[in-house]
Amino acid sequence: MVTPDNIAFDIDGVFADTMGLFLEIAGRDYGINHIRYQDITEYFLENCLDIDPEIIRVIINRILEGNFEPELKPINGAVEVLSEIGKTHPLLFVTARPQLSAIQEWVHGILPLRQSDIEIIATGTFEGKSDVLNARGIRYFVEDCLEICNMLSEHAITPVLFRQPWNRSPHHSFMEVDSWAEIRTLVKLHSN
């Protein structure tokens, strides 16, 4: 059974609308307005978008470093559900980002919880996620990258795939959620 103490969360593509921000920056700063969210059919953008790979790299680096405008927004419903979970148990986020500072500042600024109720770990690699989760006794992890879900399942962690255009494949058996409302139900949280 999924409970607040045995679930953790990825940030980009699950809590933070990082791909939406990517598209906003591409349009505003590079005049690339022909790409839609649904066109992002692979996790690695250079494999699915008709954009110069150098521009992709520059935009991604800006996002990772926190050097951007417009604002990074949360996925719809994330703040409300994470706040509910955080009231009953400290939240754990595990990200493959190489640096913690920019995303940590964003998470702490957007969630109405005490900083002591939020732990964020940047592993720097996709592979590092399973070690952190196993060391913390986490059994379920909400993730948007199908390849990482496969890796997690090999390390006795049950992935919960947050459905996005880049993880559509009929060849997996992972539990999927479409929204934070579904995560609320999965974790047995109910609004008062």
Task: List the strands of the sheet with 140-143, edge to edge.
Answer: 118-122, 91-95, 7-9, 140-143, 158-162, 175-177
Q: What is the pLDDT of residue 177?
A: 97
- State phi, psi for 123 to the nearest 5 degrees: -90, -25
Cα 168 from chain centroid (whole Å): 16
Cα–Cα dist 8/21, whole Å: 23
| Top-level class of domain 7-16+74-186 | alpha beta
**Full-model pTM:** 0.95
Domain boundaries along the sequence of the chain: 7-16+74-186, 18-65
Counting beta carbons within 10 angstroms of the beta carbon of residue 154, is it exposed (0 to 12), middle (13 to 18) or buried (19 or more)? exposed
Q: How far apart are CA 36 and CA 119, in angstroms?
A: 33
**Pairing status of strand 158-162 against strand 175-177:** parallel
Quick one: pLDDT at residue 191? 43
Question: Which pLDDT score is estimated for 7?
Answer: 97
Largest CA distance in the chain: 48
| Residues 44 and 22: beta-carbon distance below 8 Å | no
Per-residue confidence in pLDDT tens, the chain, 192 aa? 899 999 999 999 999 999 999 999 999 999 999 999 999 999 999 999 999 999 999 999 999 999 888 899 999 999 999 999 999 999 999 999 999 999 999 999 999 999 999 999 999 999 999 999 999 999 999 999 999 999 999 999 999 999 999 999 878 899 999 999 999 999 976 444
User: How, if at all, do strands 118-122 and 7-9 pair?
Assistant: unpaired
Instruction: Compute the C-alpha angle 168/169/171, nearest 5°.
Output: 155
Specify the pLDDT at position 59. Answer: 97
